[in-house]
Structure 1
Amino acid sequence: MVPYFAICYFAGLRPDSEARALRFEHIDWKEGHIKVDVTKTNDGPNRYVEIEKPLRAWLRSWMRRKGPIVPDNFAKRRRRLIYGYYTTPGATLADEAKWKQLVPWGHDITRHSYDSYWEAANRGKAGSRERIMSNMGHRDFKTQECTEPGGG
């Protein structure tokens, strides 16, 4: 699950659609980008997200892999991780309501984190607003501002 989470945290892909459909063949190491061909609306063109140094370091061990980035039992494992199953005392799979409510927007926590950290690191740099919008697949900055938990 490391490639999936690394790409979600360090490239901002939508975890339930874009990252889930991603294959190792979509990662172009020579050109330094990830081709995102499954988008939220499926009517937009492909987008290319830069592979920055931290993501390259995380994925180095998988550079020669082929196939999907997600493991076979992905859905169950991801749900348990992002909603706190492993850190909730007495949690059982049968009682998902007990642990899922701890992080109601957990499905998008990686994307929100990428957006926030990238924006903070690049605030004020020429072209940074346009670049983060492009990386995130947003058409305008108003959409970008709504990616924060509790946003409009």
Structure 2
Amino acid sequence: MNIRNMLLTAGAVAVLAVPAAAQVVRPKISLAQAVATAESELGARAYDAEFDMDLGDMVYEIELVKNGKPVQVRVDANSGRLVHQSRAIKARLPIVGENLKAAQIAPRTLSQTIAMVEDATKGKVAEIGLERRGGRHYYEVELVGAQDRDVLVDVRTGAITPLIGD
């Protein structure tokens, strides 16, 4: 075996020996697509969504409100199919009820809000969740590939504000 063949063989073995954890695996569908699927299949309004690894499977965990009640779903990040649905634990905190109501009456769906933010920032939404600050409801958004990594989106107006030092 000449030196060239030995180097090629060694290179091939090195590539095959790379651990699976070091390989970057990306979802085939976006967070916006997963949210749109969950909203349309359940006839509900999403208010929180994030990517998660669930026992080695890539999923989007999405919280929605339907008929005033919270619902949690998981959407497979490769196929885009709903893989799990459950009712959220009933919490008797007033803020939870306010968040659910704000999500139901918001002028835009969460998937529309994600599209709006991605268009305005030229980034990709990695995580988005509803919260209340100063008596108003906002989506706190974590972005990838945008100048501002975290932004707030006013639920009513759609105004996007960068979060500084948060």
Q: Calculate the TM-score normalised by the size of structure 1.
A: 0.29
Higher relative contact order (CA 8 A, sep 6+): 1
Indicate the structure with greater helix content.
Answer: 1
Q: Calculate the TM-score normalised by the size of structure 2.
A: 0.28
Indicate the structure with greater strand content.
Answer: 2
Larger Rg: 1 or 2? Answer: 2
